[in-house]
Structure 1
Amino acid sequence: MRVQSIAQAGKSEVPPQYIQPPSDRPNSDADGKSGSGGGVPVIDLGEDSVREAVGRACRDWGAFQVTNHGVPIRLLDDMRKVGLSFFNECPMKDKLMYACSPDSAAAEGYGSKMLVESDENHGVLDWRDYFDHHTLPLSRRNPSNWPHYPPNFYRKKGKRSVDWVLVAQKLLGIFSESLGLPPSCLKDAVGEFYQNITVSYYPPCPQPDLTLGLQAHSDFGALTLLIQDQVSGLEVLKDSHWYTVDPLPEAIVVLVSDQTEV
């Protein structure tokens, strides 16, 4: 059963498979500060000192937000809008046409289970639905697996995937230069870009203090580029403390992933 269906049923309690152990429940004292005030950095990619700022953010945080990144705010708004339309306006019977196998973690299509069961997550499920798309290289892309509602879903997400590649390549170049390496070093090490675009949907929860939208994890691959809506919730772990990444409508959140860290 999808999380959205559970939420729409109007139950006052969440099913037990979504309840986190006490040690993993949301941190109510997360530090909400951001920018120069001591929280998750916000970096203007047009500044002269961007190499040093990005290097510090990667070294000290592993996550930061970027502005002046070259992606128009209109495109960011369009992507937020079209993703939300799929979850809020497409009938469930139509959404289920694109359903992943309930036993598959992070499979392409419409699903809920993103992380595999492990000793760390105790097999507890996330309070979250998603739609994942394979976008690059083109040989992985199958538009028949993409929703036909809203009608502009493929155009807004699939055909604009090159915008995200350009941002990723720019950032990898800055990463390399911050380490004293040639600009193309990390890009060459990564090789052919494998890109997925995932739309996450976090339905209202009757007991949010017991659940997590997405459990603590690191991302595989080179880097993750994330755009948030106006609702905060994303947190970054630094020095055993969780910091809230305040949503900025014009910003892209950059998460340094496992491949780049290694």
Structure 2
Amino acid sequence: MGTLQEGEGLGYGRSLPVPSAQEIERNDPQNIPERYIKHLQDRPKASDVASVSYDIPIIDLSLLAVGDEDERTKLDVACQEWGFFQIINHGADSVLAKMKAAMAGFFDLPLSEKKRYAMAANDVEGYGQGYVVSEDQKLDWNDLLFLITLPAKARNVKYWPLTVPGFKEAVEEYAVVLERVSDEIFGNLSVLMGVERDFVKKLHGDVKQGIRMNYYPKCARPDLVLGVSPHSDCSSITLLVQDEAITALQIKHEGVWVPVEPIPNGLVINIGDAMEAWSNGRYKSIEHRAVTNFEKPRISAAAFVIPGNDVKLNPLESMVDEKLQPRVFKDGVDYIEYLRYTLAKKMEGKLANIEYLKLRQ
């Protein structure tokens, strides 16, 4: 994910410019540059993937919206045991289709046109690749466009490809729909966490939404590369729309990688590190990755709910019980401090980041 650039010349993180994976594949489909070939221990292996089928949680948003207790209990279990679930009946099917078309329109542009929206040297908003912090690290097989989408006043229009027909309208509509979905989830999590229904939303302070639009080229050797390296998100929650034709997202569950098969018009939701800290570890941020395939490219869009800079990542008092649930996370860490910490590193799993927030045992 990324963050907002505040004022000219000031960014919270940066990612070094690298060649476009889409162009590499387009110009020489059999060529996998050495820098994209993962170290042996990091490559996707069939033996690491779950050999049995899991019933991945599916939550009906229309039931949550009317206060259905059984559905709320399902949400509670999903956030505790999986840190992840899929949402159906969100009422935004046509909006998802328009968003996918808008993303496809951008990534279909010539490279010279996409480069007009390239990330600045000091920030991660725009077109490029994320979490590139050194010239010799292994790269992921993807290109991305990251935009701050809400609030409207936080948008930096120089990164918005307004020449793509319908792009602005589709992204704006999608952003508003996801805000509605996330508000409903926050309301239910508030009830589950023993606070007022609007508490978790207010807890975010000067909240922002950022959307990372991903393009994963097809790859002649998907066994050598990763679309996205294993990581957890430093958001409170993340909302993802997948390409329905391709299964590429995998989540770490009970020590194995579980493929997340897309469901028609479904939204994937995962708990981020901020929510894990606020819940004192009751709700788990989920380590996840994306693999590639040799048949066709894939697009997806991940929307991050980003707390305000000075919001504290302290556990809620209602989530701390010295006997049943002792405090696990420390007090006093500003969200911006944690965000800068994560953006200064390459993606290397969940543990490398979340330990920063925990009390030393």
TM-score scaled by structure 2?
0.66
Could you tell me which residue of structure 1 aligns to residue 59 of structure 2? 43
Return 202-211 or 44-53, whichever deviates more.
44-53
The answer to whether 1:58 aligns with 2:48 is no
Identify the match of residue 111 of structure 1 among 125, 128, 134.
128
Could you tell me which residue of structure 2 aligns to residue 25 of structure 1? 43
Deviation at 1:159, TM superposition (A): 4.4
Deviation at 1:251, TM superposition (A): 0.7
Identify the match of residue 5 of structure 1 among 10, 15, 23.
23
- The number of aligned residues is 251
The percentage of aligned residue pairs carrying the same residue is 33
The answer to whether 1:232 aligns with 2:232 is no
The answer to whether 1:208 aligns with 2:225 is no
Are 1:42 and 1:64, in contact at CA under 8 Å, matched by a contact in 2? yes
Deviation at 1:228, TM superposition (A): 0.1
Could you tell me which residue of structure 2 aligns to residue 183 of structure 1? 197
Deviation at 1:43, TM superposition (A): 1.5
Q: Higher Cα Rg: structure 1 or 2?
A: 2
The answer to whether 1:79 aligns with 2:99 is yes
Identify the match of residue 88 of structure 2 among 49, 67, 74.
67
SS of residue paired to 2:252: strand
SS of residue paired to 1:215: strand
Identify the match of residue 246 of structure 1 among 245, 248, 261.
261
Could you tell me which residue of structure 2 aligns to residue 136 of structure 1? 150
Say if 1:32 and 1:93 are closer, same or farther in 2 by CA, change over 3 A: farther
Using the alignment, how far apart are the partners of 1:184 and 1:140 within structure 2?
A: 23
Are 2:59 and 2:87, in contact at CA under 8 Å, matched by a contact in 1? yes
Deviation per CA, 1:8-55: give whole Å up to 9, x if none.
11242311111111221114252387xxx6332111123331110010
Could you tell me which residue of structure 2 aligns to residue 167 of structure 1? 181
Q: Any stretches of 5+ residues in structure 1 without a counterpart?
A: none
Are 1:40 and 1:243, in contact at CA under 8 Å, matched by a contact in 2? no
Are 1:19 and 1:124, in contact at CA under 8 Å, matched by a contact in 2? yes
TM-score scaled by structure 1?
0.89
Deviation at 1:150, TM superposition (A): 1.8
Q: Any stretches of 5+ residues in structure 2 without a counterpart?
A: 1-18, 278-361
Supply the AA of the counterpart residue of 2:117. Answer: Y
Are 1:100 and 1:108, in contact at CA under 8 Å, matched by a contact in 2? yes
Deviation per CA, 1:114-153: give whole Å up to 9, x if none.
12448xxx82111000111111222221223200232211
Question: Which structure would you say has the larger RCO, counting Cα contacts within 8 Å and 6 or more residues apart?
Answer: 1
Using the alignment, how far apart are the partners of 1:210 and 1:225 within structure 2?
A: 28
